[in-house]
Amino acid sequence: MILLILSIGLLIAFLSPSLHRIAKDNLGLLLAIYPLSFLLFLLSRGSSATVETHTWIERFNINFSFQLNELGWLFGVLVSFFAIFIFVYASKYMSYYKGAGRFFLALCMFFTAMMGIVLSENLISLFLFWEMTSFSSFLLIGFFHEDESSRRSAMQSMVITVGGGLFFLLGVLLLGHVVGSYEIRDVIAQKDLLIGHSFTPYIVGLILMGAMTKSAQFPFHFWLPNAMAAPTPVSAFLHSATMVKAGVFLVMRMYPALGWNEIFTTVLLLSGAITMLLGAWRSVVRLELKAILANTTISALGIIMMFLGLGTAKAIAAAVVFLFAHAFYKATLFLVAGNVIKAKKDKNIGNLAGNFKDMPQTGLASWLGALSMAGMIPFLGFLGKELLYGSAFEAGSLIAYILLGATFISSAFFVVVALRFSWYLFKPGSQDTGHELNSKELPFGLTLSPLVFSIGGLTLGLIGSLAFVQDKIAAMAGTILPEAFEKVDLGLWHGINGALILSIITLIVGFLLFKNLNMRESKRPVVGSEKSYFAFLSNMNKLASFHYQQMQTGYLRNYLGVTLLFLVVMIGVAVYIVGQPAPLNEILTVPPEYPFYQQVIILSIPIAVGIIFFTNSRVKAIITLGIVGFSLALIFIYYGAPDVAITQLLVETLTVVFFVIILHKLPEFKTFAPKYGNVGYFVISLIFGLAMTYVMIQVMYFDIPDTLKGYFGEASYLEGKGKNIVNVILVDFRALDTMGEIAVLAIAATGVISMLRLKDHSELNKSSNKKVS
């Protein structure tokens, strides 16, 4: 059923350019039915432990299998809920631009892929959807492809996330090798196999590479701010519930299998902490609306990863709640930013103070979102932060207190950003004076979705203490870590405790920072990992062009030389690996015995070849080539292959005749030697020839199985009704082969005939060429 829905989704995606012609600007509203029905499907089905399996490649244990466990189900609900309103928003938003059909193609594909990730049970199919999100987000980020920076950002996000995905695949393959299954439930059930296994550190590292690149964790954080080149609805979708949350989701999904591993948790802790502080700092020193938000996203992802790394039951529960809070306020604020930019045609926050009277609805949404971000009671953001603080207090270790400090710092920065998006951008009663021309509230289509998201954040905060909400969240946290099931308490009031006091201090510190920090742009990167990315790219290009210049010389002899030498090296490697070659001394010291007529045959070959090399006459060369061919035919006859011999004789005669007929049209037989001295090329040829001789001696020394020989000897008459076995093989057992051979001849003949008939055209060319030369 899930596979069916996903397939229909892809079909819808590819139909959307055509649908655009019918639905015009309402395409997004029409397509929103898709995530809506997905949401309804999930709600009606409810979470369950059943697994839906469709065999894909049975031999390798690769299936399309899907589950609706608490984690995947809730994520799926979140993603499809967001998708509905993103589609609605995009419907109006994209009506200002060309190419909406293309846009919705990529967006539908992206949504489908995201649902595939959260519902996949098989790691290989999860990987497939994983890379599909990378690919479709590439299309979305690069939507304004006329813009160079947009193209570059798209490319960057794809290189980073697809590259990380490949590491992830490697990790999955190793994991499958150790556990013997790619089904996540099997991996979890058999995690004991991983404990102490020598592959485990690699598995952990590779899978984390996938998660960290996707979720923009340090040192791969830099692609995310650049990804704001995408149209606003995409940014909102990517940053809130999808794409970047895919990495977090992966960590959560693999947590039961890998959470015991210290490398796993340590990497999450460290990189999460760095990412969090980095993003928080950069969010207050950037002035572009979307860049500010992008950096807070990085910071928030760092927080989630870090608390997953902390790994206590309460920390996990806190990470889950914070994830939801972040999704709601981040989607709100991104859409708000999009609206402001659209209305004011300005994206620098410094020029945009006080827009409340112009855009009251957007302003309201922004206020609600910002309050949740700042962690005000009673928003969901408050619950999230309260749980983060509380869990760090509870863990009580030194690391936990360091984390608490770091979380406090970035939360204070969040308050700054929140105040800038509310107090500064939408001060109640304020009116913008700088941008009078465009100062109108945007249509309902663009204000509905941010309002829905912001009110969603408020509502969830208020109803958090209701049993069913709490149960769902607890069940989700319990899927990650069973002990976390008990630890979720979403009540707003827990009395005065450390977490509450710290929350209040955060707000005060944030407010003071907001008042005292100048809005000053600083684009200087704190950490230079983006620089290394560009260095890496340009070095790759250099390497490629160096390689190209060295290898692609355009001379046949060089290609031939390199290829043959490589072949010789490979033969050497094979001989070395297998070992125990045949004793050459023994074989070669036995004096060969053969009668006179054989000596003539054997000797005639080198003599004829020598003539080909040294003659100045074309006729002689061609006729002596014939001599080699006829000698070969004699050898075939001698060793019981009359059919081959007959063919050889026939073909040899034809070749000589063919050559002689057009001989007068052929160029003079000047000796064009190889260019750079004959010796080097001769040595290569000699090495190759000797290698082949060596291979033959080796093969002849050892026994090879002759089952085929026996089979054909038995079956030729009984099954093929023929007594000449070679013929039976050609026309019966391997008849398709022979048909292919005939086809090749027919193609060659067509080529020959068409080139022979090119007469008139060639005369023309000839005259024009003479002028050139």
Partner 1 sequence: MEIVLPFVVGFLFTSGVYLMMHRNFIKIILGMALLGYAGNLFLFVISRITLGQPAFIPSDAEKMGEVYADPFPQALILTAIVIGFGVQAFAIILLKRTYINIGTANLDELKDED
Regarding 611 and contact with partner 1 (CB under 8 A), the answer is no
Residue type at position 610: G
Identify the residue among 4, 588, 619, 735 touching partner 1 (CB under 8 A). 588
Regarding 562 and contact with partner 1 (CB under 8 A), the answer is no
Identify the residue among 535, 569, 666, 735 touching partner 1 (CB under 8 A). 666
Regarding 671 and contact with partner 1 (CB under 8 A), the answer is yes
How far apart CA 329 and CA 407 sit, in angstroms, is 18
Identify the residue among 638, 677, 736, 771 touching partner 1 (CB under 8 A). 638
Comparing CA positions, the residue from 558, 566, 602 lying closest to residue 691 is 566
How far apart CA 650 and CA 390 sit, in angstroms, is 92
How many C-beta atoms surround the C-beta of residue 307 within 10 A?
A: 30
Minimum CB separation from partner 1 for residue 547, in Å? 19
Radius of gyration of the chain (CA): 36
x/- letters, 510..549, toward partner 1 (CB under 8 A) = ----------------------------------------
Q: In the chain, what is the straight-line distance between the N-terminal and C-terminal CA atoms, in Å?
A: 71
Regarding 619 and contact with partner 1 (CB under 8 A), the answer is no
How far apart CA 472 and CA 468 sit, in angstroms, is 6
Distances (CA, A) of 467 to 263, 470, 614: 36, 5, 97
Q: Among residues 450 and 629, whose Cβ is nearest to partner 1?
A: 629
Residue 746 contacts by C-beta under 8 Å, 6 or more apart in sequence? none
Q: Which stretch binds partner 1 (CB under 8 A): 19-27, 162-170, 222-230, 554-562?
A: 554-562
Regarding 674 and contact with partner 1 (CB under 8 A), the answer is yes
Regarding 712 and contact with partner 1 (CB under 8 A), the answer is yes
Identify the residue among 14, 539, 682, 735 touching partner 1 (CB under 8 A). 682
Q: Under rule CB under 8 A, which residues in 150-169 are in contact with partner 1?
A: none
How far is C-alpha 106 from the chain's CA centre?
16
Residue 21 contacts by C-beta under 8 Å, 6 or more apart in sequence? 101
Respond yes or no on whether the N-terminal peptide bond of residue 17 is cis (omega within 30° of 0).
Answer: no
How far apart CA 247 and CA 296 sit, in angstroms, is 17
Identify the residue among 561, 568, 627, 634 touching partner 1 (CB under 8 A). 561
Residue type at position 432: D
Taking the CA of residue 7 as centre, how many other CA atoms within 13 Å lie in the half-sphere pointing to its CB? 5
DSSP notation for 12-72: HHHHHHHHHHHHGGGHHHHHTHHHHHHHHHHHHH--EEEEEEEEEEGGGTEEEEEEE-HHH
Comparing CA positions, the residue from 85, 12, 84 lying closest to residue 41 is 84
Identify the residue among 196, 495, 579, 592 touching partner 1 (CB under 8 A). 592
Regarding 634 and contact with partner 1 (CB under 8 A), the answer is no
Minimum CB separation from partner 1 for residue 677, in Å? 11
Q: Which stretch binds partner 1 (CB under 8 A): 147-155, 251-259, 500-508, 683-691?
A: 683-691
Regarding 498 and contact with partner 1 (CB under 8 A), the answer is no
Distances (CA, A) of 604 to 177, 629, 632: 58, 11, 10
Identify the residue among 1, 437, 496, 718 touching partner 1 (CB under 8 A). 718
Q: Among residues 505 and 686, whose Cβ is nearest to partner 1?
A: 686
Identify the residue among 716, 735, 760, 771 touching partner 1 (CB under 8 A). 716
Q: Under rule CB under 8 A, which residues in 684-703 are in contact with partner 1?
A: 684-686, 688-690, 692-693, 695-697, 699-700
Q: Among residues 429 and 640, whose Cβ is nearest to partner 1?
A: 640
Comparing CA positions, the residue from 627, 645, 625 lying closest to residue 636 is 645
- Angle subtended at Cα 593 by Cα 590 and Cα 597, rounded to the nearest 5 degrees: 150
Regarding 765 and contact with partner 1 (CB under 8 A), the answer is yes
Burial of 678 (0-12, 13-18, 19+ CB in 10 A): exposed
Identify the residue among 670, 677, 736, 771 touching partner 1 (CB under 8 A). 670
Regarding 587 and contact with partner 1 (CB under 8 A), the answer is yes
Regarding 744 and contact with partner 1 (CB under 8 A), the answer is yes
Q: Under rule CB under 8 A, which residues in 645-664 are in contact with partner 1?
A: 647-648, 651, 654-655, 658-659, 662
| Site size with partner 1, rule: CB under 8 A | 105
Identify the residue among 549, 665, 736, 771 touching partner 1 (CB under 8 A). 665
Runs of H (alpha helix) within 262-312: 262-285, 289-310
Regarding 605 and contact with partner 1 (CB under 8 A), the answer is yes
Q: Which stretch binds partner 1 (CB under 8 A): 269-277, 393-401, 538-546, 748-756?
A: 748-756
Identify the residue among 564, 571, 575, 623 touching partner 1 (CB under 8 A). 564
Identify the residue among 98, 524, 723, 771 touching partner 1 (CB under 8 A). 723
Q: Among residues 528 and 642, whose Cβ is nearest to partner 1?
A: 642
Identify the residue among 556, 577, 578, 736 touching partner 1 (CB under 8 A). 556
Evaluate whether 109 touches 138 at the Cβ level (below 8 Å): no
Identify the residue among 353, 471, 598, 620 touching partner 1 (CB under 8 A). 598
Identify the residue among 46, 196, 554, 579 touching partner 1 (CB under 8 A). 554
Regarding 639 and contact with partner 1 (CB under 8 A), the answer is yes
